[in-house]
A = this chain, B = another copy of it.
């Protein structure tokens, strides 16, 4: 693990709406990346599978054509954008590793356009309209943190966010911030009864990762009602950034596209962990039970 970066940096979190056309989504993302750069963003997070609608609503092997290698044509375009703006870009894509082997991945492009690495989503959901076990093999990368120009970045993806083990393991790798590209939404029929509580649970789970590990945590979700099967899914936005004490630094609702920004300050991490020194007191001799189902 490299020494902690001494300098704060500006994080950007993009919340966006997706269209059926891949090229349209890429162009839209590029314009939002330009907007982020104009705000001084140095590290920017796009939502999960940012260039596609959420096709996992139904089983159709044709959607596997969306998958592409990393590096590949989309990361090439984004690498140029990263270099243009001296901006680290976290680019979540449907990754083709081989014929019949696909991952839900996030490419990390450093500020000079170099492909720093790829994280492959470790926890794969499978619920009605979220049939991800059909499309994605469980990640084989393990948990990862990336030394970028501006700071050490932990990347996890969506369903990972519900697992405190994933957040902790990534924080223990020395990440200053945990970034969660996400595609989470309401089933329209459940929204009235459970919608608000689902958003609260989703935010609370991740806010607690910030508190437990003394790290910044951010999620980039999509918005919009995408109907690929049945009543479709209403993606609920509510993208956010929490500081290492669990305080909300920035957030959006379920209606607005946009770029959230927040300062990531390694000194605040240091101070928070001195006041609540959980790392010191972990009972690593007693956690073996976590390795069983």
Contact = CB atoms under 8 A, between A and B. Distances in A.
Interface of A: 122-127, 138, 142-143, 159, 162-169, 172-173, 197, 200-201, 204-205, 207-209, 211-212, 245-247, 275-279, 281-284, 286-293
A147 to B, nearest CB: 17
Contacts of A281: 123-126, 159, 163
Given A169-B290, A173-B289, A247-B197, A211 B162 contact: yes
Contact of A282 (B209, B212, B293): B293
A73 B204 CA distance: 42
A215 to B, nearest CB: 13
Q: How many copies does the complex hold?
A: 2
A143 B159 CA distance: 27
Contacts of A246: 197, 200-201, 204-205
B283 A197 contact: no
A126 B125 CA distance: 40
Contacts of A123: 281-283
A171 to B, nearest CB: 10
A123 B280 CA distance: 10
A127 B162 contact: no
A184 B97 CA distance: 50
A166 B162 CA distance: 16
Nearest to A133: B281
A285 B247 CA distance: 32
Q: For the complex of A and B, list the 7 residue pairs with the smallest distance between their C-beta atoms, beginning with the closest.
A: A208-B208, A164-B164, A169-B289, A201-B246, A165-B287, A201-B211, A123-B281
Contacts of A163: 212, 278, 281-283
Nearest to A160: B283
A173 B286 CA distance: 13
A204 B208 contact: yes
Contacts of A168: 164-165, 290
Nearest to A169: B289
Given A138-B283, A162-B211, 15 more contacts: A126-B281, A143-B286, A143-B289, A163-B278, A163-B283, A164-B168, A164-B208, A165-B168, A165-B287, A169-B287, A173-B289, A200-B246, A204-B207, A284-B290, A284-B292
